[in-house]
Chains A and B, each alone.
Chain A
């Protein structure tokens, strides 16, 4: 009798406890995190990264990212139908991980319609030394060969590299841009939108027009494309056969 009562009580306790946790997570969704003073917020359409002064540094979105099949490229999603920040178990796991290791992490799962079918992209932002690591996992029926990891960088910022070159697109470059690059002791280089940046660069640096470094992105084996008009920088990475995820480091100068 006592044991029966005890087990009933224990089951009630477990139910109330888990329900309490569930409601807590529902009230306080993990839709944003702060890493070294930089706020990372997920919205319905993008994952945005803000500097400690509240200025937007960059954003990522499957509406900008690409996948490649037989050299044809399409956006990972043409339309986002829903998004979340992980399920209940992921929420608990993430909280515990942050609590114990003091390492911040943000999950952003995006569901939508790709070029040919329904698909989902899972973004995970991890805290690394000096910045963040953005992992993209693509769940699609299509056999994706390469992924274009696109960063939409800050307004009025310049794209430079570790060899003191500043990049612009041929159809949008103006005299003001050339003058700015010269003033900052950078060599202006004009590239086409479908032409990747020189392969001798190891780092892409984003600076403002006062030469303040905003972020550094290691290039690794990627091909880098620039669409300056839309402030988009694409890092094309080939996927190893069978793999569905890519990883991209962004070092934030805060």
Chain B
């Protein structure tokens, strides 16, 4: 079996191990996963706590616990299967198969077509891999900023990192390849979530399938990334949608656990998810009168409009974070994003669907519309990072758009209905294709579309071999060290969130031609978190990215927003610089076509 298939299967442990853990206590799949995730969060801290008193191998302990839990759960599952002899629901199996084939086609044939295993298109994964690497080596804290200086803000707990470290510990494989596989499973689950929620709200298989297709082909390529990226904000939205679809079946204890897990996965988006779930839960319990629910829709429209229109008058960025100003978009660019993601589907079919709900929608459909409008308003409010909140709106609006399309085709015979859905799929597929092409345009490297190159992976693997005692340290431009820290596990100062002092040191070495001065300056770059301030070996990594970064204006080099996002080949001028470093006495310990590593 090749590495890609192994990693694709190993990636499933991100979902299966928590599920098997929770399945010992509860039967419902999502509830079991949520409970299992929380149990693993507790297990890790418990093992870490015991390990501070009694020394043992952290990974072996986690492996043993996972094996025991999985074995108990599988025996339990097997016994229940034999006892209950559950029937196979052929219709559900067929729908699941159709969704699997469709999502696999879009993911592997369109999205990852020129991004072969294990190359990547998601820039955020490297910080999560770095964190999961540290967790799997037994480093834990309630604050991510206390574990790695790659994190400058605690917007989520370690729960996501803990779950991500499970495949690494259990299968002893690098997380880069695992991530390549895990994001497909996430993508498939987002389609399933849209289907289940739509089935619950509309009670119509055609409509639910249409909603799943719309969800799969709408990729919010800026800030949101609901479907194709697995990051804390997208995972928390996915869980929220699964919980929302069956919230009536949740008892108070499991609801509290779900709330805790949602909050632990993302403190900020999690709060919105909790408010949405609370609103949904209460509205389903209280059962407002028709007049009141119509009033709620009116209030939601007003709320949404006020926030959207306020873009014309107000703009607020998170103070103290230079990067935040770059994530505060004006109204017109935001509308442009919607057109890039949806074409005019959101404006046309979204409107038709909303009108249909207002006119003759059921109670739960009207609640869906209220929530969709509220999330849209919040996401499009004139505040930095708020667009992130649309991660939840993705699902709600997929359903409303599906309804809008359904209104137009529901009177057609089945064959024409099928043809119409095929036409809609075709339009969305072309829209998705164009949208993802624009996203991937800056990531072209040789014949690939990627943020990391094979040479960089090779350099990362070499660095990993030099770091058996965990005391090595790398210095490079922010993007290179961000990537290499994830691949190799070798520590760096902040990864791409390198602090200003370190950036200034790197900028300053350009003016010096004396090797002692350069080395003396570089060794002043220190990790801000680690307890061992003096690394055993420090590597200075230069490559196409490094020189491209050095050529940026100083104002951009000082900013965490500007990075060299794609691999770069060494130019002739870069090679001359490297030759100069060699001539003045820097020792080359590794080199390939794109990367040269010096030992300081």
Contacts and interface: CB of A to CB of B under 8 A. Distances in A.
**B is bound to A:** yes
Interface of A: 2-3, 5-6, 9-10, 12-14, 16-21, 23-25, 27-28, 32, 34, 36-37, 39, 52-53, 55, 92, 95-96, 99, 102, 208, 210, 212, 254
A2 B349 CA distance: 20
Nearest to B109: A99
A28 B438 contact: yes
A141 to B, nearest CB: 37
B343 A6 contact: no
Given A21-B427, A210-B572, A36 B446 contact: yes
21 contacts: A5-B411, A6-B416, A9-B409, A13-B405, A13-B420, A13-B424, A16-B348, A16-B349, A18-B427, A21-B431, A27-B340, A34-B441, A37-B445, A37-B448, A39-B444, A52-B445, A53-B568, A53-B569, A95-B434, A96-B430, A99-B430
Contact of B411 (A3, A14, A21, A28): A3
Given A9-B411, A17-B423, A254 B110 contact: no
Contacts of A25: 434
A20 B345 contact: yes
B222 interface: no
Given A17-B427, A21-B427, A37-B448, 5 more contacts: A9-B409, A18-B427, A27-B339, A53-B571, A99-B430
A12 B423 CA distance: 12
Contacts of B429: 99
Contact of B424 (A9, A17, A99): A17
Given A10-B412, A12-B408, A20 B427 contact: yes
Given A2-B411, A27-B336, A28-B434, A21 B445 contact: no
Interface of B: 110, 113-114, 336, 339-340, 342-345, 348-349, 405, 407-413, 416, 420, 423-424, 427, 429-431, 433-435, 437-438, 441, 444-448, 544, 568-569, 571-572
B447 A36 contact: yes
A37 B424 contact: no
Given A20-B345, A28-B434, A210-B572, A13 B340 contact: no
Contacts of A99: 110, 429-430, 433
B409 A6 contact: yes
Contacts of B438: 28
A215 B445 CA distance: 18
Given A25-B434, A37-B446, A99-B433, A13 B343 contact: no
Nearest to A6: B411
A95 B416 contact: no
A21 B345 CA distance: 10
Taking each of B342, B344, B429, B544, which has the highest tally of chain A beta carbons within 10 Å of its own beta carbon? B344
Contact of A52 (B410, B411, B569): B569
B206 to A, nearest CB: 14
Contacts of B447: 36-37
A9 B412 contact: yes
A24 B339 contact: yes
A60 B22 CA distance: 64
Given A9-B408, A12-B408, A52 B446 contact: yes
Contacts of B424: 13, 17
Interface residue SS majority, chain A: helix
Contacts of A18: 427
A24 B434 contact: yes
Contact of A21 (B343, B409, B446, B572): B343
B320 to A, nearest CB: 34
Q: Which of B110, B413, B431, B441 has the most CB of A within 10 A?
A: B431
A124 B438 CA distance: 21
B430 A21 contact: yes
A13 B423 contact: yes
A19 B342 CA distance: 12
B204 to A, nearest CB: 16
B155 to A, nearest CB: 32
Contacts of A55: 571
Return the 7 tightest CB-CB contacts between A and B, nearest first: A20-B343, A9-B408, A6-B411, A6-B412, A37-B446, A34-B444, A17-B427
Contacts of B114: 102
Contacts of A53: 544, 568-569, 571
B344 A16 contact: yes
B444 A95 contact: no
Contacts of A102: 113-114
B343 A23 contact: yes
Contacts of A92: 430
A10 to B, nearest CB: 6
Contacts of B343: 20-21, 23-24
Contacts of B408: 9-10, 12-13
A27 to B, nearest CB: 6
Contacts of B444: 34, 37, 39, 52
B99 to A, nearest CB: 20
B16 to A, nearest CB: 33
| Interface hub of B407, B412, B438, B448 (most chain A Cβ within 10 A) | B412
Contacts of B416: 6, 10
A68 to B, nearest CB: 38
A57 to B, nearest CB: 14
B113 to A, nearest CB: 6
Chain A CB within 10 A, most for which of B110, B413, B569 = B569
A99 B105 CA distance: 12
B89 to A, nearest CB: 31
B236 to A, nearest CB: 30
Contacts of B569: 52-53
Nearest to A25: B434
B571 A14 contact: no
Contacts of A24: 339-340, 343, 430-431, 434-435
Contact of A9 (B340, B407, B413, B441): B407
B423 A14 contact: yes
Contacts of A17: 423-424, 427
A34 to B, nearest CB: 4
A152 B113 CA distance: 33
| Of listed A9, A21, A95, A96, residue having the most chain B CB within 10 A | A9
B220 to A, nearest CB: 15
B411 A254 contact: no
A2 B446 CA distance: 55
